[in-house]
């Protein structure tokens, strides 16, 4: 399927690995010039070279922390007028809510809500003027099904979802869409860290912890990042202009709800 976005420009935050990298790869495959981002310069350059090698596309690597004004400025300097923005940032670690300090809560809300809003503020009016814009926020399945221990992540991402639900309806008439993708258990480094903690809690080997986690998923497997990237690319496509303010849950059927 031709997504109709060849020649467009995209900023994909936190994309040196995991789901962000998968989104950047899928967009590059669709002919989009991508700016990828991460804090680890070495890892970032490896990811940029890999994506460029696989797709033949133009990939610009920007080592920066998107949670800082300087990091956001660096991204927009590399791509002053993005047609596509994929917001992504690491979530706070698993922690009992009783242990959260005020500063940790503020940092979590900044990382998983405020940063995305700040970047959208900077790009949305130029998108409106050009009559094309696609904004995708990578949130979490915990927005719909909160998990104890991930309360800060769930709350901040749910806040972002509600914040942008109204905004999305104000710009879609200019062919600018805002949607969210809610990942469940995908085979990423973050999942491996979660599984390691599960193994420690249950006193079992990492492999057994992984099998226990898979058994709780109706699909009986973890998601592959490439599947996630393909969904993101579609939401960024020319054909997705009538989809806005939506939450696409990709979790192998784990959320047992009809809506």
- Considering the domain architecture, whether residues 95 and 196 belong to the same structural domain is answered as no
Rg (CA), the chain: 18
d(CA 164, CA 132): 18
Is the pTM here over 0.85, yes or no?
yes
pLDDT one-digit tens code per residue, 45-65: 999 999 999 999 999 999 999
Do 134 and 39 fall within a single domain?
yes
What are the tens digits of pLDDT across the range 165-218? 999 999 999 999 999 999 999 999 888 888 888 888 889 999 999 999 999 999
Say yes or no: 80 and 155 in one domain.
yes
Helix axes 225-235 and 18-29, enclosed angle (nearest 10): 50
Copy the structure tokens of residue 235.
Answer: 């939401």
**Rounded-to-10 torsion of CA 90, 199, 249, 234:** 60
Overall number of domains in the chain: 2
Please check the confidence at residue 13 and state whether its pLDDT lies above 90.
yes
CB contact at 8 A, 13 and 66: yes
Q: Based on the fold, state whether residues 212 and 237 are members of the same structural domain.
A: no
* 206 and 232 part of one domain: no
What is the model's pLDDT at position 147?
Answer: 87
168, 126: one domain: yes
Q: What is the pLDDT of residue 259?
A: 85
Question: Structural domain of residue 56, as residue ranges?
Answer: 9-186+224-250
| Domain match, 72 and 134 both | yes
User: φ and ψ at 176, to 5 degrees?
Assistant: -115, 125
């Amino acid at each position: 399927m031709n997504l109709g976005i060849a020649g467009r420009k995209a900023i994909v935050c936190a994309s040196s690995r995991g789901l962000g990298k998968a989104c950047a790869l899928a967009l590059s495959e669709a002919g989009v010039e991508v700016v990828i981002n991460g804090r680890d310069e070495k890892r970032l350059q490896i990811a940029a070279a890999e994506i460029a090698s696989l797709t033949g596309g133009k990939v610009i690597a920007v080592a920066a922390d998107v949670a800082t004004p300087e990091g956001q400025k660096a991204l927009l300097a590399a791509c002053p007028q993005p047609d596509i923005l994929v917001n992504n940032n690491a979530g706070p670690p698993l922690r009992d809510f009783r242990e959260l300090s005020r500063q940790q809560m503020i940092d979590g809300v900044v990382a998983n809500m405020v940063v995305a809003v700040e970047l959208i503020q900077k790009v949305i009016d130029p998108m409106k003027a050009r009559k094309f814009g696609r904004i995708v926020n990578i949130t979490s399945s915990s927005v719909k099904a909160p998990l104890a221990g991930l309360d800060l992540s769930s709350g901040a991402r749910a806040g972002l979802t509600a914040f942008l639900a109204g905004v999305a309806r104000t710009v879609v008439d200019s062919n600018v869409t805002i949607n969210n993708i809610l990942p469940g258990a995908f085979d990423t480094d973050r999942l491996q860290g979660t599984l390691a903690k599960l193994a420690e809690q249950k006193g079992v080997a990492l492999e057994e912890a992984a099998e226990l986690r898979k058994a709780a998923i109706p699909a009986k497997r973890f998601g592959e990042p490439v599947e996630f990237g393909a969904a993101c690319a579609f939401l960024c496509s020319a054909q997705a202009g009538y989809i806005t303010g939506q939450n696409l849950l990709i979790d192998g059927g784990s959320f047992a709800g009809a809506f």
